[in-house]
Structure 1
């Protein structure tokens, strides 16, 4: 089986909310471990992640341990960075065996051509300020300034505050299929230029949705803050579909 999941946002919310999310994701990893060949983590797995040369954020040991074990057993684990965890370097690769992909990519998976991405920083030509901000935060200069000027304790505290502020500013947003349009338009334009693409899978929008127009197909994954999470699964017959996973208070 091939699995696709996104927007876990480990570390988000109160300590109890964060533990609830981590516990649920650990149980999901335990479930898919039985038959997983590849697990694609399509961004924002962490609510904030920043690596210094010798310092990484505390926590997430249960998840990182499971991902390390999966990788050691031969399961391919691939992280497509999102806007909350774009500042990872090589720690997750060295310690956990996770492959890092830093932008949209077309992959051949079991004979299907799939376009994978977190979904941020895409089709924003008409938003110059957003483009400028995204370019700055993804630059080496921004990473160096952040690491040189801020002690790790301050940097991680600031990062958690910034991520929480961003989340609260969108807490009242009502996501509808219409608000997915910019990514659907991106996929449609890409498909018109590359008709051999069998599907597009995005996260970022925290809204599970499926678009099927003939051979054109787009899947959106959910976040993990609701009682039910949506991920994608592709079986050996190349059946690609959204699946649900119930999140509860069980602690692993």
Structure 2
């Protein structure tokens, strides 16, 4: 049995954050290779990701290489798509070597039975994201986007993402999403006594909440403001929220 902790991270939004953040995340991946038993990336790794037949976004080359290096050390990496990178697929799976999954789904994380969801579209108050999730996963929408030139498709996605960040960047919006997701997680834990963890992201509000003794709702936070990730200690024990050191002098 591994004595290393299992790590969870989400909402890095690479492509919409400073280069210092992207470098810090690559350092985090190197750290995971040296110290973790496995890594879950719970959505919105990229601020925009779309897999064309023969094109990848060059701005993500170094992160993709770092992920491949991590996989080649023998550390299993799983990825659950978020609302910004729901179109992940064959390239990440076949060329980078990570397990590409669609949530919500049950997984074993560090020896714990867990329910994992990025968090978009869960909870009673998230009608906007339920609608968006259905739209961006529609086959006709995917097909239409695929015929666009990648430069044009990327430009459109960035405009949409920028608008979303401006609309939803406030603390009040984040707290609202966080409350809906936590309520959903607590309901799942009450429904299934065998669940030990419900893992989410999306809200950009890091959290470790012991809903019942030994059973937790956890949220890894984000790398826009908080630079947080989660550790699941080997052999049990409560999840631990960690903060990665900033490299831009801001904290």
Same fold (TM over 0.5): yes
Q: Deviations over 1:58-83 (max 9, x none)?
A: 21222111110111121101111000
Q: Aligned equivalents of 1:54 and 1:86: distance in 2? A: 18
The TM-score normalised by the length of structure 1 is: 0.89
Residues 6 and 233 in structure 2, CA contact (< 8 A), matched pair in contact too: yes
Q: 1:130 to 1:5 in 2, by over 3 A?
A: closer
Provide the alpha-carbon RMSD of the alignment. Answer: 2.0
Secondary structure in 2 aligned to 1:63? Answer: helix
Q: Does residue 244 of the first structure (1) align with residue 243 of the second (2)?
A: yes
In the TM superposition, what is the alpha-carbon distance from 1:176 to its structure 2 partner? 6.5
Q: Aligned equivalents of 1:209 and 1:175: distance in 2? A: 16
Residues 49 and 84 in structure 1, CA contact (< 8 A), matched pair in contact too: yes
Give unmatched runs, 5+ long, in structure 2: none
Q: Aligned equivalents of 1:125 and 1:166: distance in 2? A: 17
In the TM superposition, what is the alpha-carbon distance from 1:178 to its structure 2 partner? 5.8
Q: Deviations over 1:6-57 (max 9, x none)?
A: 00100005xxx2x111111011112222122211000000000011111121
Q: Deviations over 1:88-147 (max 9, x none)?
A: 2210111110110111111123431111111111124773x6533321211111100111
Q: Aligned equivalents of 1:9 and 1:176: distance in 2? A: 15
Query: What is the aligned partner in structure 2 of residue 45 from structure 1?
Result: 45
Q: Aligned equivalents of 2:135 and 2:189: distance in 1? A: 29
Q: 1:29 to 1:195 in 2, by over 3 A?
A: same
Give unmatched runs, 5+ long, in structure 1: none
Q: Aligned residues, how many?
A: 243
In the TM superposition, what is the alpha-carbon distance from 1:5 to its structure 2 partner? 0.2
The TM-score normalised by the length of structure 2 is: 0.89
Moved over 4 A (4+): 175-179
Q: Aligned equivalents of 1:177 and 1:167: distance in 2? A: 15
